[in-house]
Homo-oligomer: A and B are copies of this chain.
């Protein structure tokens, strides 16, 4: 990636895309990607060395992570990063420090992969931070400097952060008709009591392998408290599914888990989220990926995911009372209109209708509000009924 000084490296990117695809294929088969990541990290280091010995300026091309270099691909149906790169070179006064930081973090990732250990993004900061000999200059002044470098590396090497053995905080849980192996332990997710399995940050195939799956689909709910309602009512058992939640906006670990359940086990992913702009946005991230992490979309987004509720039409559909209503404020309306203008919502009539209806209603509704009917209405009636009406799901 680092050999040419072109601003547009389309040709190279295409090859890289192709090889990334190969990687994905191989990963699915082999269950581990450690060797490949090592090769990428070594390739980065070698290109720098080669340039140095060839008396060329050492430099790295980093694809640009900004709205301007991101677009929705209607064919793949997720948000993709464009081809524009920015260069980071050693002899540029404004880039030298970031160049050094990039190689420093890369070398720490190499050590992690070699030792088969993982580190948090905070730990990476501390691992890579030191005072440069003979000066008072620190390699990193704060984690705000190391976090973007990790993302730089992900995108430059086309390796997920998790493949670089780096993790962030985790949230979310899973329970249901799935048996899998995590770090050598076989876990039967039908036998996890009320607590469930805490989805870790790294769920790559070298850590987690799926073994047996009786589930027909994955039901993803927004919040822990809703998830517990479904767990307590043993919904996963009655309806033969896997229940996940993301504690609000799902972490990368949760998104990657949904992706793998869908991709490898061919399970449909259906989402039950709040009827508000935040719920729409969570759905959008699960389905199309996010703008910030567009370079991960191909390995995290689930374009086939479906939104089963709560819908702006459920108030009438289920004869709900005024007690479920939460008035929209100005910010909700602004946010709803923004979402409406996203290209991946804009083209879709049912979504336009859905969002406009919310604005017209003048109120939003939470999944938890459904219990104003009765406590188990959501598990006994609402969700089973919604599941039987795929035509009214939102795509």
A interface residues (Cβ-Cβ under 8 A, vs B)? 111-112, 115, 117-120, 122-123, 126-127, 129-131, 138, 167-171, 173, 181-187, 191-202, 207-208, 223-225, 228-229, 232, 321-324, 366, 368-372, 375-376
Contact = CB atoms under 8 A, between A and B. Distances in A.
Contacts of A376: 117
Given A192-B197, A200-B228, 13 more contacts: A112-B375, A117-B232, A126-B372, A127-B372, A130-B323, A168-B225, A173-B198, A186-B191, A187-B192, A193-B200, A193-B207, A194-B200, A195-B198
B200 A169 contact: no
Nearest to A207: B194
Contacts of A169: 223-225
A67 to B, nearest CB: 29
A368 B167 CA distance: 13
26 contacts: A118-B228, A119-B371, A120-B228, A122-B366, A123-B371, A126-B368, A126-B370, A126-B371, A126-B372, A127-B375, A130-B372, A169-B224, A170-B224, A170-B228, A182-B192, A182-B195, A183-B194, A184-B193, A187-B195, A192-B197, A193-B207, A194-B202, A195-B199, A195-B200, A196-B197, A196-B198
Given A186-B191, A225-B167, A198 B198 contact: yes
A379 to B, nearest CB: 10
Contacts of A223: 169
For A118, A171, A195, A376, the residue with the greatest tally of chain B CB atoms inside 10 Å of its CB is A195
A228 B201 contact: yes
- Give me the 3 closest cross-chain CB pairs, A-B, nearest first: A182-B193, A120-B225, A198-B198
A197 B195 contact: yes
A123 B229 contact: yes
Contact of A129 (B126, B170, B197, B323): B323
A30 B207 CA distance: 40
A180 B208 CA distance: 24
Nearest to A184: B193
Contact of A130 (B168, B186, B200, B321): B321
A194 B200 CA distance: 7
Contacts of A182: 192-195
Contacts of A118: 228, 232
Contacts of A366: 122
Nearest to A196: B198
Nearest to A234: B183
A225 B119 CA distance: 8
Contacts of A199: 195
B375 A324 contact: no
Contact of A368 (B120, B202, B207): B120
Nearest to A226: B120
Contacts of A130: 321, 323, 372
A323 B197 contact: no
A123 B367 CA distance: 10
A376 B118 CA distance: 10
